[in-house]
Amino acid sequence: MSLDDILNKTDKGKLYSHILDKSPLYPIILDSKENVLAFPPIINSEFSHITNKTKNLFVDFTGTDLKSVMDVGKVMVTTFADYGANIESVNVISPQNQINYPDLSTRKLIIKQKTINQLLGLNMNNSEIIESLQASRFNAEIINNSLSVEIPSYRIDILHPIDLVEEVAIGYGLWKIEPEKPYPIHYGTRNPLKEFTSLVSEIMVGSGFQEIMNFTLSNIQKQFKMMQIKEQNYIKIHKPKSLENEIIRTWLIPGLLQVLHLSKKELYPQNIFEIGKVASIKNGLPIENLNLGVMMINSETGYAQIKSILDSLTHILELKSSITPVQHSSFIDGRVGKIMINNVNVGTIGEIDLQVLENHQLEDPTVCFEIDLNILFNIKYK
C-alpha cells in the first residue's frame, strides 16, 4: 500500500492521520537494507512482525514532544532490563543535536527534613528518612543540612520535592501514620449568594412554577438565530464534540423555550423557571453570571401575568422594580422592557415574538423575564 492508502483506508490510518496533517513529509523507519520497519506513528510493517522466536528487538518511540517520548522510552527500557534483557544504545541524529539514547543517568532533588516532617506530621531524623527513601528505592545523602535524593531515570513521575514526601510516607509505612482530626480555626458558613438563590427558588416554587435544569452548553442556532438576535459576545468551545454544544449559553430564555417545545403535548398552563450560569465576553474578557429565567405559556397568558409574578418576587425580596420600554427582536414590540431596580438594569421582561414561537413550534402566547441574580444580590445586600 502507498502511504496515502495507509492513511485513508486502514483503521489505524483513519484514527491517527490527523497527527500528520501539517507534516510536509511522512516519517519512515528503514533498516540498512532499506526494508521498511515502521510508518510512525501510524503502523508497523509486516517485516518487523514479532514472533515467539524473536530474540532481538529494535524499539522505536515516536511522538510530537521529545521529552515525553524520551521519558516513556526510559520506562520501557528499564522494564525490559528488569525482565533480564541486555540494553544497547543508539545514536539519534537530528539537525539540532546528536543524542546517545537511552540515557539512564539519575537526577537529584533537594528537600529538607523539616518539610517532610511538617507535611507528614511525624518527627523523623535524617537517618530514618533516608531509610524510608531506600525502602522506596531511592538513594539519599545529607548535604548542607538538606537531603539530596537520587531519582532513577524511570521515575518520571517525580516532578517536585513534594513528590518525595509521598515516597517517604510509603517507605515509612502508611499504616503506621495515625490520622488526627484537624483543629478547626473557624466555622464554615453557607455562601451568601447560594442562600439568596435558594430563597429565590423557594419564592418561584411557592408561586406555582416548576424548576428545570438545562445544560450550560448550547449552540448558535438556539441562542441567536432562532431568537432573531445578532450573534455576538459568546464564548465558543474549542473543538466541540457536537454541534449541539458549540458555545456557552449567553442567556436562559432560549433553553426555557426548548423545554416548552419538548413538553408541548402536556397540559397547559405550563409555568417553569431556571436558575443557572450564563457566560459572555465583555470588554474582551469572559464574564460569568448567575441568572433567573421565568416563563409562562397558556392560551390566555399575557404581559400582565408575567409582570405580576415579577412584582410578587421583588415585593417578597423587599425591592421595588419599574419597567422601561425597549426594543428587542425576540419580543413583541410594545410588550418588552428592561427591569430597573434602584436605577440599575437587572434584566428583561416581555412577551415572546410570534416568529420566535413559530421557530420553536409553539402556538400559544408565551411570556417571560430574565434577571441577573448577581446584580440583584448586590442591590439587596451590599
The predicted pLDDT at position 182 comes to 77
The predicted pLDDT at position 279 comes to 96
- Same-domain status, 78 and 134: no
**CATH code, 274:** 3.30.930.10
The predicted pLDDT at position 44 comes to 87
- Same-domain status, 153 and 74: no
Read off φ and ψ for residue 75, nearest 5 degrees: -65, -45
CA 100 to chain centre: 39
The predicted pLDDT at position 179 comes to 85
Domain boundary among 135, 151, 176: 176
- Burial degree of 81 (CB within 10 A; 0-12, 13-18, 19+): middle
Residues of the chain scoring pLDDT < 70:
none
Residue 229 lies in a domain: yes
The predicted pLDDT at position 355 comes to 96
Q: Tell me how far apart the alpha carbons of residues 115 and 161 are, in angstroms, rounded to a whole number.
A: 9
The predicted pLDDT at position 65 comes to 85
- Same-domain status, 166 and 294: no
CA 255 to chain centre: 22
Helix/strand/coil for 192: helix
- Same-domain status, 160 and 212: no
Residue 187 lies in a domain: no
Domain boundary among 101, 119, 137: 101
Domain boundary among 101, 119, 149: 101
Task: Kindly report, residue by residue over 125-150, the tens digit of the pLDDT.
Answer: 999 999 999 999 999 999 988 999 99
The predicted pLDDT at position 156 comes to 93
Give CA separation, 264 vs 138, 205, 237, 301, 360, in Å: 67, 21, 30, 15, 10
Which residues, at least 6 apart from 211, have a Cβ–Cβ distance to it below 8 Å? 201, 204, 205, 272, 273, 274, 275
- Same-domain status, 285 and 305: yes
Read off φ and ψ for residue 50, nearest 5 degrees: -95, 135
Q: Which of 278, 232, 233, 271 is nearest to 254 (CA)?
A: 278
The predicted pLDDT at position 157 comes to 93
The predicted pLDDT at position 292 comes to 97
Owning domain of residue 154: 107-176
The predicted pLDDT at position 382 comes to 77
- Same-domain status, 131 and 220: no
Mean pLDDT of the chain: 92
